[in-house]
Amino acid sequence: MLLCSVANRLAQETSPYLQQHAANPVDWYPWGPEALERARREDKPILLSVGYSACHWCHVMAHESFEDPAVAARMNELFVNIKVDREERPDIDQIYQLANQMLAQRPGGWPLTMFLAPDGTPFFGGTYFPREARYGLPGFAELCARVAEVWRERRSEIDSQGTGLLEAFARMQPGATGEAQLSPAPIDALLEQLQASFDARFGGFGAAPKFPHPADLELCLRKGAAEIARTTLTRMCEGGIYDQLGGGFCRYSVDAQWMIPHFEKMLYDNGPLLGLLADAWLLWREPLHQRCAEKTAAWLMREMQSPEGGYYSSLDADSEHEEGKFYAWDRDEVRELLTDEEFAAVSLCYGLDQAPNFEGRHWHLHVAQPPTPGSEGLLEAARAKLLAARERRVRPGRDEKVLVAWNALAIRGMARAARVFDCPQWRDSARRALAFIRSRMWHGGRLHATYKDGRSHLNAYLDDYAFLAAAIVELAQGDFSPADLGFAVELADVLLGEFEDREGGGFFFNDRVHDKGEKIVLGVKIPAGGGKEDGEKVLDILASHPSTARFISRKLAQRFVADDPPPELVDRMAKTFLEKKGDIRAVLETAFNSKEFFSQGAYRAKVKTPFEMIVSAVRATGADVDFTFALANRLTQLGEPLYRKLEPTGYSNVSAEWMNSASLLARMNFALDLAQNHVPGIKVDPVAFSSDPAEAARQILFHAPSPESEAAIEKALAAAPADPKGNPAARPGMIAGLVLGSPDFQRR
């Protein structure tokens, strides 16, 4: 077996995320010439793993697979293994996230797992993979073997796919557009989109999971949609996404109400949110906004600022290998720490008088109702006692690298809040961080992007220069310094000189020094911006490419119909793919309506149970509820029970009538019972069931439980009632399929 017997190359890196993997038996390389040259020399595929220190599922995959000697041996035998910190190398992460969207036709995330040809061209990818096959995902060791087999035996197909991928990337590159005229139309269009997706009840945009989106909120605040920002900031300050004891905001909420967060805390969120709270207080003078601003600033200085002055990057979601353990409470523990009067006030305000809201057995504090008159003193004393007790727990890990861009966001937020609330300590904190960057990360007239353990390195990116210049301008408004202004001018000169695209307009994310300015991974330029818009552009390009259409159609046919699907079926699926612009649901409907699918029960060779097929289809279509029930109906026509218990008795077939669309509300009401009473971690708004069953189903999907809740799901299934005709019900199996197969479940 090929194992790495000593600490691997990552031990010499500055990234805490890479250092976390230094003792893995995997023979990891950091991204660089050494790894790429070895792959080319040995004609060996590359396994690229991208993540970051605070990422919960990155840790899960590391514990399950990368620390396992047998899995590591297979990785070392078959691949050149490269580990990347997406926070240090956002350029690499951006390109391969887009490539994964192209190949998988679905959003990416972290950990990002990509398989590359030696020249860096990706040919397969995904996010989290479990060590053993489950939830419709292959086991990681098995996946590695299958990918290596494809690499050996289907090189021509991989090369053809790679050509199509590079063509799609090339078509993304911006070209010269002549003299451009500034217009308010793009901003107006963006505001319309934000207003259309705004959740007027709970704030934020869209359904769960909900992210803060501080840049969008700032736009609303300044461009005539201030109530969107007001509602969102207020609901977030009342919710569990905000740390009610220690201050600071978590990365996102898993529910629409901002109650239960994904518990990692990121510097890049908290700096802008602090500035927004200050602006909100200027407009509305709400004490809640001021208190949250004060607590967040105190948290930044107390827990996130290094003795040298720079701000650290993030806090993990996990402690003692459990997400949220540092922040959650048992009711009896709280009662023992407080006086009776304090406990009574805390219970009413923070929801301890209600059912557990975290994993079915713990409480995560949120403002369940506003403080009663006269209770604020009791609450303040109680919060201080609880915070002191929490400080004695095992703390989440902290990523102590200093990133220029994220520090700039924090400097700007601290400086803005210091000016609004007239707080010199906050301004001094911001100035210490700026001084640190200038003294430790500015060398020879250029910025370095990252610093840790006395070493700064990596050429800084566009956002490093732009954000830092903006932060200096904000700081100067409350504490002017000619030296600071001169530094801002130097930064702006470098930005224009090294990042501007003088031919096509706009700016590049990498400077001209990086790979001589124009090329990086895959030989493509990275335009500034990225994000959702680039992803949508990639998918539009992909959906019009015939070679990609046939490749994806064949993969789907192999998954759902036969190992060697009939060419005529693949042709029909590819035609649908092109006609419907990459709509995977339409492509699968073509397959499931085909004579090949019905003939000889071919699908039975592809899945263990129809339930597994439903899970796979849910994952492929992004948890499309109507499509899932239509597939279930099709399987009942084949005489298949939709869910089989492990016991020999099993479920009987479910009548097709029970699966028709007219009974959707009944099924959703059962889902509500399942979600609220049997599966920890799922919370659903009952109002949605009476007004919008489809929205209720989406809530269930986005509040999917952790893998540890699978046993609770099985218990609920075993206790499932019969349908109106007395048949054992398949609907709990359907709901479990939706939950287990949802993209959100796989990301978490």
Nearest to 33 by CA among 45, 23, 41: 41
Domain end residue (candidates: 330, 364, 397): 397
pLDDT for position 219: 95
DSSP 198: B
Position 392 in a domain: yes
pLDDT for position 174: 58
Q: Is the pLDDT of residue 576 over 90?
A: no
| CB 723 within 8 Å of CB 683 | no
pLDDT for position 546: 65
Same domain assignment for residues 70 and 158: yes
pLDDT for position 502: 81
Q: Is the pLDDT of residue 534 over 60?
A: no
Q: Which residue has the tokens 């009473």?
A: 677
The average pLDDT across 500-518 equals 69
DSSP characters over 32-68: SHHHHHHHHHHT--EEEEEE-TT-HHHHHHIIIIIT-
Please list the alpha-helical segments (H only) found in 154-225: 155-172, 185-197, 214-222
Q: Is the pLDDT of residue 569 over 80?
A: yes
Q: Which range scores top for mean pLDDT: 102-111, 426-435, 486-495, 674-683?
A: 426-435
Same domain assignment for residues 156 and 225: no
The secondary structure of the chain in percent helix, strand, coil, rounded to multiples of 5, reads 55, 10, 35
Q: Is the pLDDT of residue 487 over 60?
A: yes
Dump pLDDT digits (tens) for 94-121: 889 888 887 776 678 899 999 999 988 8
Q: Is the pLDDT of residue 623 over 60?
A: no
DSSP 679: S
Of 549 and 80, the structure prediction assigns the larger pLDDT to: 80
Q: Which residue has the tokens 């197969």?
A: 741
669-676 CB contacts, 8 Å cutoff, 24+ apart: 670/721, 670/729, 670/731, 670/732, 670/735, 671/696, 671/697, 671/700, 671/731, 671/735, 672/696, 674/716, 674/732, 674/735, 675/700, 675/703, 675/735
Least confident of 315-319, 399-403, 628-632: 628-632
Angle between helices 226-238 and 287-303 (to 10 degrees): 60
- For 354, other C-beta atoms within 10 Å of its C-beta total 11
| Residues in Cβ contact with 336 at an 8 Å cutoff, skipping those fewer than 6 apart | none
Same domain assignment for residues 463 and 578: no
The average pLDDT across 157-167 equals 78
Same domain assignment for residues 410 and 393: no
CA pair distance 161, 178, nearest whole angstrom:
34
Domain end residue (candidates: 115, 137, 172): 172
Residue 694: band (very low, low, confident or very high) from pLDDT cuts 50, 70, 90: very low
The average pLDDT across 212-225 equals 95
Same domain assignment for residues 168 and 219: no
Strands (E), 514-583: none
Q: Which residue has the tokens 């109106």?
A: 724
Same domain assignment for residues 36 and 167: yes
CA pair distance 612, 643, nearest whole angstrom:
9
pLDDT for position 696: 43
167-199 in b/e burial notation, b at 16+ Cβ within 10 A?
ebbeebeeeeeeeeeeeeeeeeeebeebeeebb
Dump pLDDT digits (tens) for 48-70: 999 999 888 899 999 999 999 99
Position 52 in a domain: yes
Q: What does DSSP say about strands 28-30 and 318-319: parallel, antiparallel, or unpaired?
A: unpaired
Both tokens of 663, joined, read 């009974």
CA pair distance 4, 25, nearest whole angstrom:
5
| CB 84 within 8 Å of CB 36 | no
CA pair distance 353, 347, nearest whole angstrom:
5
Percent of the chain past pLDDT 90, that is, above it, reads 51
CA pair distance 355, 651, nearest whole angstrom:
33
pLDDT for position 147: 92
- Domain CATH code at residue 46: 3.40.30.10
Same domain assignment for residues 355 and 446: no
pLDDT for position 617: 59
Both tokens of 724, joined, read 């109106």
Q: Is the pLDDT of residue 679 over 60?
A: no
Of 529 and 739, the structure prediction assigns the larger pLDDT to: 529
38-43 CB contacts, 8 Å cutoff, 24+ apart: 38/80, 39/80, 39/116, 39/118, 40/118, 40/119, 42/80, 42/118, 43/118
CA pair distance 490, 744, nearest whole angstrom:
44
Dump pLDDT digits (tens) for 362-412: 999 999 999 988 899 999 999 999 999 999 999 999 999 999 999 999 999
Position 675 in a domain: yes
pLDDT for position 47: 97
Q: Is the pLDDT of residue 722 over 80?
A: no
Dump pLDDT digits (tens) for 427-451: 999 999 999 999 999 999 999 999 9
Q: What does DSSP say about strands 261-262 and 252-253: parallel, antiparallel, or unpaired?
A: antiparallel
| CB 272 within 8 Å of CB 409 | yes
Position 538 in a domain: no
Cis peptide before 122 (omega within 30 of 0): no
pLDDT for position 533: 39
Residue 643: band (very low, low, confident or very high) from pLDDT cuts 50, 70, 90: very low
pLDDT for position 693: 40
Helices and strands of the chain, counted as H and E runs? 32, 16
Both tokens of 151, joined, read 């690499």
| Containing structural domain, residue 472 | 402-528
Position 184 in a domain: no
pLDDT for position 180: 64
Same domain assignment for residues 690 and 738: yes
Same domain assignment for residues 441 and 567: no
Position 188 in a domain: no
| CB 569 within 8 Å of CB 538 | no
Bridge partners for 115 per DSSP: 47, 124
Dump pLDDT digits (tens) for 463-481: 999 999 999 999 999 988 8
pLDDT for position 137: 77
Nearest to 170 by CA among 523, 690, 671: 523
Of 423 and 575, the structure prediction assigns the larger pLDDT to: 423
Q: Is the pLDDT of residue 274 over 90?
A: yes
Domain end residue (candidates: 135, 155, 172): 172
The amino acid at 27: D
pLDDT for position 331: 96
Same domain assignment for residues 621 and 506: no
Q: What does DSSP say about strands 80-85 and 28-30: parallel, antiparallel, or unpaired?
A: parallel
pLDDT for position 202: 94
Q: Is the pLDDT of residue 313 over 90?
A: yes
DSSP 253: E
Q: How distant, in Å, are the alpha carbons of 241, 340, 379, 659, 744 from that of 345? A: 21, 9, 6, 48, 36
Position 389 in a domain: yes
Same domain assignment for residues 580 and 633: no
Torsion of CA 441, 443, 448, 454, to 10 degrees: -50
Domain count, the chain: 5
Nearest to 470 by CA among 424, 405, 420: 405
Of 669 and 356, the structure prediction assigns the larger pLDDT to: 356
Both tokens of 423, joined, read 């707080």
Of 333 and 515, the structure prediction assigns the larger pLDDT to: 333
Residue 169: band (very low, low, confident or very high) from pLDDT cuts 50, 70, 90: low
Q: Which residue has the tokens 């400077």?
A: 511
| Residues in Cβ contact with 13 at an 8 Å cutoff, skipping those fewer than 6 apart | 19, 22, 30
Q: Compute the mean pLDDT over every residue in the chain, rounded to the nearest whole number.
A: 78
Rg (CA), the chain: 27
Least confident of 262-271, 291-300, 368-377: 368-377
| CB 59 within 8 Å of CB 318 | yes
Same domain assignment for residues 106 and 120: yes
Position 432 in a domain: yes
